[in-house]
Amino acid sequence: MKLHSSSHAVSSATRFITPGQAISAYGVAEVVASSDSEFQKVDLVKGFIHWAEYSVVKAEECTLTKLDTLGFPLTYYLGILGMSGHTAYTGLFGVGKVKEGDKVFVSAASGSVGNLVGQFAKLHGCYVVGCAGSDQKVALLEEKLGFDEAFNYKQQKNLSSSIHLNIKNTQHIQNSRSIVQVLPQRN
């Protein structure tokens, strides 16, 4: 997860990039040297490190913790077993409390969190509708990620009625709860 984004001007969790400064983001790394007794050389770690081959960090400032991969590829800890996966999982099941048969609508559905929300919901037996900002992304959602329906919100005159129409068209689903991932207004 990146800490810097032009689309996140309103978020207190993000900040602007200062030219010349390394970009920090959630990542995984191997310790090559440490003066912190908690970490030894060759330890695998996760936390907010830099987009760089080598980073010098203070563990307490970047929430650095040791990583036990449990045999999974390291890259999983940047996605499904990382921040995006935790966000998607807790948002869908902890906050949204989805149940089998629910209708789930996912905005930013091809993003790192949205694509997992949709896939978790499908695995849980929900009917999943997603929206994205290009036809290519819509095809990815429907053809590769298993969304039941997807649409390009940039081609809709009225987003609310598009969502309503997609949800309404799923008559065969009895349970009418719907879950919406809300994003800030685009400028």
Ligand X SMILES: NC(=O)c1ccc[n+]([C@@H]2O[C@H](COP(=O)([O-])OP(=O)(O)OC[C@H]3O[C@@H](n4cnc5c(N)ncnc54)[C@H](OP(=O)(O)O)[C@@H]3O)[C@@H](O)[C@H]2O)c1
Interaction between residue 117 and ligand X (CB under 6 A): no
Cβ-Cβ contacts under 8 Å for 15 (sequence gap 6 or more): 3, 4
C-alpha angle 132/89/17, rounded to 5°?
Answer: 60
Closest approach of Cβ 187 to ligand X, in Å? Answer: 8
Among 24, 112, 119, 178, binds ligand X (CB under 6 A): 112
Q: Does 24 bind ligand X (CB under 6 A)?
A: no
Given the complex with ligand X, which of 141 and 167 has the nearer CB atom? Answer: 141
**Of the two residues 24 and 84, which places its CB atom closer to ligand X in the complex?**
84
136 binds ligand X (CB under 6 A): no
Among 81, 108, 128, 141, binds ligand X (CB under 6 A): 108
String marking each residue 138-177 x if it binds ligand X according to CB under 6 A? ----------------------------------------
State the nearest-atom distance from the C-beta of 157 to ligand X, in Å: 16
In sequence order, the 6+-apart residues with CB closer than 8 A to the CB of 109 are: 115, 117, 118, 130, 131, 132, 137, 141, 147, 150
- Which parts of the chain are beta strand (E)? 24-30, 44-50, 65-66, 103-106, 127-132, 149-152, 178-180
Q: Whole-angstrom Cα distance, residue 49 to residue 77? A: 14
Q: Which of 110, 119, 166, 178 binds ligand X (CB under 6 A)?
A: 110
Positions touching ligand X (CB under 6 A) are 1, 7, 83-84, 87, 107-108, 110-114, 132-134, 137, 183-186
